[in-house]
């Protein structure tokens, strides 16, 4: 057994069974060790941003970490943006970052860089093995650290000699730190404050949006208390039979209008809400003036149990407030728009589907129309770094065989990590990629004015436009081995989307929208 | 004038006139200010790795920095790998990294992260503006820092409010620190040691490979002293009429065999050579046993003048040792291989061409065949982070209108940053992209065995293979607006490459090679 074997065996012992990889020379021992441990599923990604986003999607669905295999500092850098998103999703991930042999580091070879510094900003844990006998123990530590609470990516730097040299033993079982229990007094205080408030709201953070949390929140909502979630949720169970909380509005003024009159905000694994960006003369903090905030549970605490206790303290009914199935009636007709596409998506999205959303301005139609659709999970863009939609879909599909995955993407966002389309073909994953082709960074056209920059002239316009040339997504996807279809009418999209829901395997739909 | 104007005006005053951009909301004021300053050329890239690689290519050719426009920490992260390569090339670059407004940072909004930490590892200078009045002065400081010596990327963090608020003044002229002069005693010592040595070599670092350095080195070579360069050179003038130094071999044992008997290594803006990777039981340091090393010039020093002085001290002839034009005769026929493709490239590469090389195992044929070709510049993969070939070509073409640019790429490498193909179409750049499609990470198949990992089994093989599905590069490029052709024979490649050299504008050639 060498260090690479010790690593993989320890990961397997700790139920880490998927590896999203883009290896290089320094990772060859890890790659070779995969042949000796068939329980680890290797998935090749042609760019590290796909690998890290896939690990994020996998972790959101599986509730346990996948590992990534990355090539030194530049490899981690290529995967950094989607690890930023994973940090904001609190997704457990174990990054294995190959490095030069320990004795080779001193020479500052071309690929050398300060990996720990690069990885630090988005990792909950960073350590490097210094000997092959470290590797097993560190792997277990990394798995434990990735679970948090509240969870995140743990980065294990693996020098090449620590991988290729003999190792004495695999590592132990990972130690998982439990979430701290919220004191009964805190729950009682929240209940008292809610009873005393004129217009209380409960704000659910991304880690307090699972099935159990929504069930408890839905019971509280049945007493008349409004429940909202943070703006971007890692995994939100939605659709018929579930409680549907509202969502924090994206723009500051809309958020504050929505919260007008609120005098109490009870936060569950969240923090006082803030604007996604600052704008001149607009507030950053989205808490109405005079509104008290109260932390029922921090992110390290068990907000779900606290919500259930709060429901009890408020004398909430046993059954949560849930919504009935309500699907759009007839197929939409005429012009294809984000709204009409959303109706088609709601009509045909099957029960148990997973939606990976990176559609920025174009996804609102689908989000709205599917709210009362068949039960599904919605994976949001937690960190705001576009280029998540296809990679997260890759990982979700690996984690959830048998469930249909739909990846909704703005065209600008999709271009970041569209290499993931190849992995869909390689693994024959059951993913339908929708590209909303409006040929622009539409959100930036909106934001330009909001930041006080006025109307774009020719130079600015050129930087917001994806036309000249327009991307031919069908040709692009064909190049990567996935069949595609371009839709320019609502009817065509409805037919194409229905067909892709009925047939297994990867598909791409280019939805030409205004 | 706001902070964004102060920034752009200061950049223009300091001859920074190209901006490779992938902006987001926090950069909208910079984007808007571009409309007020037409001397800055904005070039949209659909991924930050293209923008940073383009800035590297631009800097290598123009000899001055371009700026990049990047969106917070994740945007920088997406561009990190090519900035790693630029660090190893010592290319001057000014990164403008948008950030949240200063007062917004405290709220830890979704896109917030520790930008300085992420950027630090690959920057020669990182500072953040804290007020709009900082911006001009910091911009000048960044330009100055980017020149070094020896040069690198300077990262200026620009909070949104520092961009949108009124600024009092643009910044000053950048202060450029000159290279330190090498003492005459040092030159004399080198000359004495060379005369006394049995088998001396001179090793040129990447910053000591310009026209003047090669002319001086060629004079020394005419005295019988062997001159070699580091393995990967940022910009190497090559071809007829120039001195052609040898190159450090890639593999350690080959390098040491090549250097057998060498008893003196005089380093010019370089360091003792090291292996690209460590391997079990193979040396890291590529200096033969018993060989003395002597630093004629450090990277911060003027190695070119020192080389000229050394030539004089050695009594070298005034004219350098140069090579005559020698082109392959007939067009190659039969199977298309890296070697036959190289012959075609040498046959048709026009004078003044620029080659951006990210072709890993497949480019050797072209490198060898063009050595005595028409004069051209060769831009190497300095940092070993693949995904440089297309982006660097974008930047080189922007810097050098009127010169043909050829981008040589392994298929695995090209997939990293192939979004650059779109920018070729958008800007109608005169670039021919050659993809050597061997459908594998060929280098890794070689490296796997060298790291002692044995022969790949099914799992390992799947991670080294780019087949299943094979990428259709012609379809892929068509999707991004660039016409392509697939070549499967030497004749077809010769015809296609000749045609693409004769016609202006972007082209892609998929060269199917074993």
ipTM, interface predicted TM-score of the complex: 0.98
Residue B452 has pLDDT above 90, yes or no: no
Task: Say how many Å lie between the first and final Cα of chain A, rounded.
Answer: 58
Cβ atoms of residues A6 and A164 within 8 Å: no
CA distance A112 to A106: 9
Backbone angles phi, psi at B296, to 5 degrees: -70, -40
The total of other beta-carbon atoms located within 10 Å of residue A483's CB is: 13
Cβ atoms of residues A284 and A278 within 8 Å: yes
Cβ atoms of residues B126 and B155 within 8 Å: yes
Query: Which residue of chain B comes nearest to A115, CA vs CA?
Result: B121
Beta bridge partners of A295: A267
Q: What is the pLDDT of residue A387?
A: 98
- Chain A residues with CB inside 8 Å of B479's CB? 471-479
Strands A264-268 and A200-204: parallel
Across the interface, whether the CB atoms of A277 and B415 are under 8 A apart is answered: no
CA distance B17 to B401: 14
CA distance B326 to B160: 56
By Cβ distance, the residue of B25, B274, B426 closest to A447 is B25
DSSP 8-state class, residue B103: G
Across the interface, whether the CB atoms of B387 and A78 are under 8 A apart is answered: yes
> Could you tell me the pLDDT band of residue B17, with boundaries at 50, 70 and 90?
very high
CA distance B472 to B162: 46
Q: What is the pLDDT of residue A453?
A: 80
- Chain A residues with CB inside 8 Å of B282's CB? none
> Could you tell me the pLDDT band of residue B307, with boundaries at 50, 70 and 90?
very high
Q: What is the pLDDT of residue B446?
A: 87
Across the interface, whether the CB atoms of A277 and B35 are under 8 A apart is answered: no
Mean of pLDDT over chain B: 97
* Residue found under tokens 């571009």: B34
Q: What is the pLDDT of residue A336?
A: 98
- Chain A residues with CB inside 8 Å of B475's CB? 475-476, 478-479
Interface membership of A89 toward B (CB under 8 Å): no
Q: What is the pLDDT of residue A169?
A: 93
Q: What is the pLDDT of residue A135?
A: 98
Q: What is the pLDDT of residue B453?
A: 80
The total of other beta-carbon atoms located within 10 Å of residue B165's CB is: 20
Across the interface, whether the CB atoms of A44 and B415 are under 8 A apart is answered: no
Across the interface, whether the CB atoms of A121 and B107 are under 8 A apart is answered: no
Query: Which residue of chain B comes nearest to A45, CA vs CA?
Result: B463
Q: What is the pLDDT of residue A132?
A: 98
**What token pair was written down for A112?**
């050398």
Q: B228: helix, coil or strand?
A: strand
Interface membership of B459 toward A (CB under 8 Å): yes
By Cβ distance, the residue of B35, B231, B422 closest to A457 is B35
pLDDT in tens, B179-219: 999 999 999 999 999 999 999 999 999 999 999 999 999 99
> Could you tell me the pLDDT band of residue B449, with boundaries at 50, 70 and 90?
confident
Q: What is the pLDDT of residue A452?
A: 80
Average pLDDT rounded to a whole number, residues B262-267:
98
Across the interface, whether the CB atoms of B110 and A444 are under 8 A apart is answered: no
**CA dihedral sign of residues A380, A385, A387, A392:** negative
Q: A60: helix, coil or strand?
A: helix
Across the interface, whether the CB atoms of B277 and A109 are under 8 A apart is answered: yes
The total of other beta-carbon atoms located within 10 Å of residue B210's CB is: 18
Residue B396 has pLDDT above 90, yes or no: yes
Residue B42 has pLDDT above 90, yes or no: yes
Residue B103 has pLDDT above 90, yes or no: yes
Interface membership of A81 toward B (CB under 8 Å): yes
Q: What is the pLDDT of residue B442?
A: 87
Interface membership of B282 toward A (CB under 8 Å): no
Q: What is the pLDDT of residue B455?
A: 85
CA distance B139 to B67: 10
Residue A486 to residues A334, A350, A405, A507, B402, Cα–Cα distance (Å): 15, 22, 19, 11, 38
Helices B3-13 and B132-146, packing angle to 10 deg: 30
Beta bridge partners of B65: none
Interface membership of B166 toward A (CB under 8 Å): no
Q: How far is B183 from chain A (nearest CA, A)?
A: 27
Interface membership of B474 toward A (CB under 8 Å): yes
Q: What is the pLDDT of residue B451?
A: 82
Cβ atoms of residues B167 and B193 within 8 Å: no
CA distance B135 to A452: 18
Which residues 211-230 of B have a C-beta within 8 angstroms of A?
Answer: none
* Residue found under tokens 């990176």: A358
Helices B303-313 and B184-196, packing angle to 10 deg: 50
Cβ atoms of residues B215 and B243 within 8 Å: yes
**Residue A60: which of A79, A88, A19, A21 has the closest Cα?**
A88
Helices (H), B356-464: 364-369, 389-399, 411-414, 420-427, 442-450, 458-464
The predicted model scores a pTM of: 0.98
pLDDT along chain A (514 residues), means of 10: 97 98 93 96 98 98 98 98 98 98 97 97 98 98 98 98 96 97 98 98 98 98 97 97 96 95 98 95 94 98 98 97 94 97 98 96 94 98 98 98 97 98 98 96 86 86 94 98 98 98 98 96
Across the interface, whether the CB atoms of A276 and B111 are under 8 A apart is answered: yes
**Residue B254: which of B450, B464, B497, B50 has the closest Cα?**
B450
- Chain B residues with CB inside 8 Å of A423's CB? none
Cβ atoms of residues A409 and A389 within 8 Å: yes
Query: Which residue of chain A comes nearest to B74, CA vs CA?
Result: A81
């Amino acid at each position: 057994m060498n260090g690479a074997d010790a690593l993989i065996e320890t990961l397997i012992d700790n139920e880490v069974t998927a590896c999203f990889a883009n290896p290089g020379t320094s990772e060859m021992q890890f790659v070779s060790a995969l042949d000796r441990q068939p329980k680890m599923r290797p998935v090749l990604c042609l760019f590290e941003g796909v690998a890290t986003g896939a690990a994020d999607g996998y972790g959101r669905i599986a509730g346990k970490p996948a590992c990534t295999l990355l090539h030194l500092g530049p490899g981690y850098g290529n995967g950094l943006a989607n690890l930023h998103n994973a940090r904001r999703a609190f997704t457990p991930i174990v990054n294995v970052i190959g490095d030069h042999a320990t004795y080779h580091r001193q020479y500052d070879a071309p690929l050398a860089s300060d990996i720990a510094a690069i990885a630090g900003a988005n990792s909950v844990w960073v350590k490097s093995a210094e000997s092959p006998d470290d590797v097993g123990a560190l792997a277990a530590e990394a798995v434990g650290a990735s679970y948090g609470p509240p969870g995140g990516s743990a980065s294990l730097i693996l020098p090449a000699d620590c991988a290729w040299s003999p190792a004495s033993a695999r590592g132990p079982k990972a130690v998982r730190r439990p979430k701290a229990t919220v004191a009964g007094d805190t729950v009682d205080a929240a209940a008292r404050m809610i009873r005393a408030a004129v217009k209380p709201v409960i704000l659910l953070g991304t880690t307090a949006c699972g099935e159990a949390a929504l069930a408890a929140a839905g019971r509280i909502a049945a007493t008349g208390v409004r429940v909202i979630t943070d703006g971007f949720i890692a995994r939100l169970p939605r659709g018929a039979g579930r409680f549907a909380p509202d969502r924090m509005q994206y723009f500051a003024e809309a958020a504050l209008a929505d919260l007008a009159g609120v005098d109490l905000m009870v936060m569950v694994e969240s923090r006082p809400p803030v604007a996604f960006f600052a704008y001149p003369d607009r507030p950053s903090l989205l808490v109405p003036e005079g509104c008290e905030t109260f932390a029922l549970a921090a992110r390290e605490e068990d907000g779900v149990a606290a919500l259930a206790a709060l429901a009890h303290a408020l004398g909430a009914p046993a059954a949560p407030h849930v919504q009935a199935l309500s699907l759009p009636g007839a197929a939409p007709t005429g012009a294809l728009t984000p709204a009409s596409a959303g109706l088609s998506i709601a009509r045909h999205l099957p029960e148990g589907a997973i939606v990976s959303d990176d559609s920025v301005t174009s996804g609102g139609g689908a989000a709205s129309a599917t709210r009362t659709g068949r039960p599904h999970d919605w994976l949001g863009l937690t960190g705001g770094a576009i280029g998540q939609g296809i990679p997260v879909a890759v990982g979700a599909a690996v984690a959830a065989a048998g469930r249909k995955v739909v990846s909704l993407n703005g065209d600008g966002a999709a271009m970041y990590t569209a290499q993931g389309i190849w992995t869909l073909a390689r693994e024959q994953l059951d993913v339908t990629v929708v590209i909303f082709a409006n040929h622009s960074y539409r959100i930036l056209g909106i934001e330009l004015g909001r930041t006080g920059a006025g109307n774009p002239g020719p130079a600015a316009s050129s930087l917001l436009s994806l036309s000249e040339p327009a991307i031919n997504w069908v040709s692009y996807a064909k190049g990567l081995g996935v069949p595609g279809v371009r839709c320019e009418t609502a009817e065509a999209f409805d037919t194409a989307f229905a067909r892709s829901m009925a047939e297994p395997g990867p598909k791409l739909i280019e939805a030409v929208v205004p």
